[in-house]
Structure 1
């Protein structure tokens, strides 16, 4: 089969490696079945062709699409520009795409929706997602429990459903937890690859990045381990199975 293109944007090596291992393990992929590009350390390969890949998976990271361009970290600005450069072809040709957390901001921004910190930011931890009527008919969501918990932690969010998108999963704090554009372009606000162990590592790594008060890190870790977050990985597995063929 064609490999999946995995684009990562976490400058912290430990967090990036942990996310990559989670994508492989939870998605049922081997390293031979993916092409990993760490955009904080390298640009997109010259001459990259989306036709060479089964699909594109974009991970999360500390950057925000809505940050002021005048003060945005230059590396984060370059990463954002490179991912956005792929979005016209992805959306026009309906290339299989799974944007995780940061990826929903990228998709929303590309489609002209407001992505901002005005509403719907969520603290680090589990949140209960609900399947919408459209979600119940979607191949990545159909048959999942009507409500299940997922791990989140984000400062910005899509403020309204982007034009042309289908609303698949919702939560009380943030209504747009999963959306689809066309038939194959997906994005989640939560982290479908993350279990409690993955989130524990991220909490330790990002404890001074402004997501939460540093002194609450141990309580957050305990909360994550006490949570029942097992369903979201099925969405990632289904994406890989559906498009990896």
Structure 2
């Protein structure tokens, strides 16, 4: 059985539980262990037991002016995980908030100039993305769910751009062979994403007065390739 770990960085327990279930379904395996960085410190030795690590989303933002001690600790732990991946010691797929952590760690700028509201979004793979074992089979374009207030201003040094669109040019990149980052959410089904919206109704990802309309659009979307990316990520590193 493929050994996988979900790293949780969501303060909202209900949303975190649902996200864990979404990753388990998307990855196509029954058992995906969980490490909640808000509840326990990082045990780097534990990571070595897994063939792949996936990092979930969070309402945290790297660009937040005021940060709690918990958020600062989470960001530090994610940077440590990213360094291990860059060294090729573990394979990690970072999503949402954590792409900002990795971008900043690499010396890149995180901006609030290219946000995307909660919606299904079409992204295009680059030439490098088309040749990548995880993103390549989804070329030339795929529909995924987005909901973010910040993103990478440009591709950080040492990274290879895998996917882009006009609204948010840095949608996904790879560093080396073992570190993947995605600004979007690859794991939820339309139902998953619609349910997740209830936890963040008043947090700025969409107009709360338009909740029913936005949720209806999410439920009507055809989104499958995000899960396919995660399954290929797991399969690529299953024997690593």
- Shorter-chain TM-score tier: over 0.9
Flag the 1:143–1:3 CA change in 2: closer, same or farther, 3 A.
Answer: closer
Aligned to 1:216: 210
The residue correspondences of 1:203-242 to structure 2 (distance < 5 A) are 203-242=197-236
- 1:137 Cα deviation (Å)? 0.5
Is 2:93 the partner of 1:98? Answer: yes
Is 2:27 the partner of 1:27? Answer: yes
Flag the 1:74–1:167 CA change in 2: closer, same or farther, 3 A.
Answer: same
What is the number of residues matched between the two proteins? Answer: 239
The whole-number CA distance in structure 2 between the counterparts of 1:145 and 1:83 is 29
Aligned to 2:176: 182
CA contact (8 A) 2:149 2:205 kept: yes
Aligned to 2:186: 192
The residue correspondences of 1:115-194 to structure 2 (distance < 5 A) are 115-117=110-112, 119-194=113-188
CA contact (8 A) 2:82 2:179 kept: no
- 1:94 Cα deviation (Å)? 5.6
CA contact (8 A) 2:2 2:29 kept: no
TM, length-normalised to structure 2: 0.94
Q: Which runs of 4+ in 1 moved over 6 A?
A: none
The whole-number CA distance in structure 2 between the counterparts of 1:73 and 1:199 is 27
The residue correspondences of 1:29-68 to structure 2 (distance < 5 A) are 29-31=29-31, 34-45=32-43, 48-68=45-65
- 1:106 Cα deviation (Å)? 1.8
CA contact (8 A) 1:115 1:156 kept: yes
Aligned to 1:18: 18
CA contact (8 A) 2:2 2:51 kept: yes
- 1:116 Cα deviation (Å)? 2.4
Superposed CA offset, 1:94-131 (max 9, x none): 631100112211211111111121x2111110111011
The whole-number CA distance in structure 1 between the counterparts of 2:82 and 2:141 is 30
Structure 1: gaps (5+ residues): none
